[in-house]
Amino acid sequence: MSYGPFDRTYTAAEDRYEKVPYRRTGASGLDLPAFSFGLWQKFGTDYAFATQREIILHAFDLGITHFDNADRYGPPHRAAQHNFGRVLAKDLAPYRDEIVLSTKAGNAIGPSPYLRGGSRKSILNSLEHSLRDLGTDYVDIFYHHSPDLDTPLEETVGALVSAVQQGKALYVGISNYLPDRTHEIAEQLRAAGVPLLIHQARYSIYDRRPEQNGLLDTATQDGFGVIVYSPLAQGLLTDKYLETIPEGARAQNSTFLSPDVIDETYRQRTAELNKIAAARGQSLAQLALQWVLRRPEVTSALIGASSVAQLDHNTAALDFPDFTAEELALIEEHGVHGTGLKL
């Protein structure tokens, strides 16, 4: 279905819950779709709102009920929240109880010391702004975006607990924490009666840190779910860069992906992974998404999209058979940790 700029009403697809499987988030009672939609990129003021709206509504029609945001997402900062808030007010308000909204605070959004970090003032002020941007009186998941080693962890925990006690968040999560500090904050949150629901971590075939540093084991130990971002390694786990860097590709204009990493070693390894995917009848992107979701600790994978067609393509990743032991061994051989990344 197409949602043009002059549409005034939206009705969600009746079969939306038949399209994407749901998974339990750690030891909690919350189910999340295997794919969640992230507004990290392409949802600022530099992209057409009509296209953003079309993609968001199509995601909901596909059964993707979790939409992930942050005060930092734009450009400019907070623009992605504001744009999603417009869609929520115009189209998705009748379905608010079926939607899991998440946002984050802590990454710098300005020069002020109160616009970054893990202090009570920074975290709770950011949440107030986010609620106004989104046009809602609560978010379902509120994250601390990155650890702040200069602020006592007890203060950060206290702010997250207050957000729940005030009814402005239903659950709390963290992002980009290392395992030891993750365990520590999980312990403190549990003692305060607000268990850690979820950890958002970067994880892909080319970035194995959650496996290697013990984060996935910590998730099992402490009972929280894991939601992964950049499962396609900023587009490196697609066939986009096998020959050259296409005009307008992310590697040409993104602060998160440098053309320097697209070298011959990257292309050789990615070509081999692409062959494995082709033998399974799927794209490399679909293989990469299916690969991160193979882990029982992973509740959901965050995906973005610049078009409805791309969204359809990526969500079809779970339509393929499970990996065989031989396929996983081949992926292990060619999917070398650190490929294409500046770690």
Residues 162-221: tens digit of each pLDDT: 999 999 999 999 999 999 999 999 999 999 999 999 999 999 999 999 999 999 999 999
* Residue 201 DSSP label: E
* Residue 205 belongs to a domain: yes
* Residue 316 belongs to a domain: yes
What angle (nearest 5°) sits at the alpha carbon of residue 159, between those of residues 156 and 165?
Answer: 145
Residue 243 confidence class, pLDDT cut points 50, 70, 90: confident
What angle (nearest 5°) sits at the alpha carbon of residue 287, between those of residues 233 and 263?
Answer: 40
Tens digit of each residue's pLDDT (9 = 90 or more) over 36-91: 999 999 999 999 999 999 999 999 999 999 999 999 999 999 999 999 999 999 99
Residue 7 confidence class, pLDDT cut points 50, 70, 90: low
Minimal CA–CA distance to 72: which of 259, 343, 255?
A: 255
- Are the C-beta atoms of 99 and 56 separated by less than 8 Å? no
Helix (H, G, I), strand (E, B) or coil at 207: strand
Helix (H, G, I), strand (E, B) or coil at 66: strand
Distance of CA 165 to the CA centre of its chain: 25
Backbone conformation region of residue 234, classed left if phi is above 0, alpha if psi is from -120 to 50, else beta: left
- Average model confidence (pLDDT) for the chain? 94
- Are the C-beta atoms of 225 and 299 separated by less than 8 Å? yes
- The pLDDT of residue 6 is 46
* Residue 25 belongs to a domain: yes
Average pLDDT over residues 257-275: 91
* Residue 341 belongs to a domain: no
Give the DSSP per-residue string, 121-190. Answer: HHHHHHHHHHHHHHT-S-EEEEEE-S--TTS-HHHHHHHHHHHHHTTSEEEEEEES--HHHHHHHHHHHH
Q: Which domain holds residue 43?
A: 19-233+290-322
* Residue 30 belongs to a domain: yes
* Residue 239 belongs to a domain: no
**CATH code, domain with 49:** 3.20.20.100
* Residue 70 belongs to a domain: yes
* Residue 243 belongs to a domain: no
Q: How many domains does the chain have?
A: 1
Tokens describing residue 18: 């038949």
Instruction: Name, in order, each residue with C-beta under 8 angstroms of 99's C-beta and a sequence gap of 6 or more.
Output: 60, 65, 66, 67, 88, 92, 140
Our CA dihedral for 61, 64, 69, 74, rounded to 10 degrees, sits at: -50
High-pLDDT (> 70) share of the chain, %: 94
Tokens describing residue 79: 């623009």
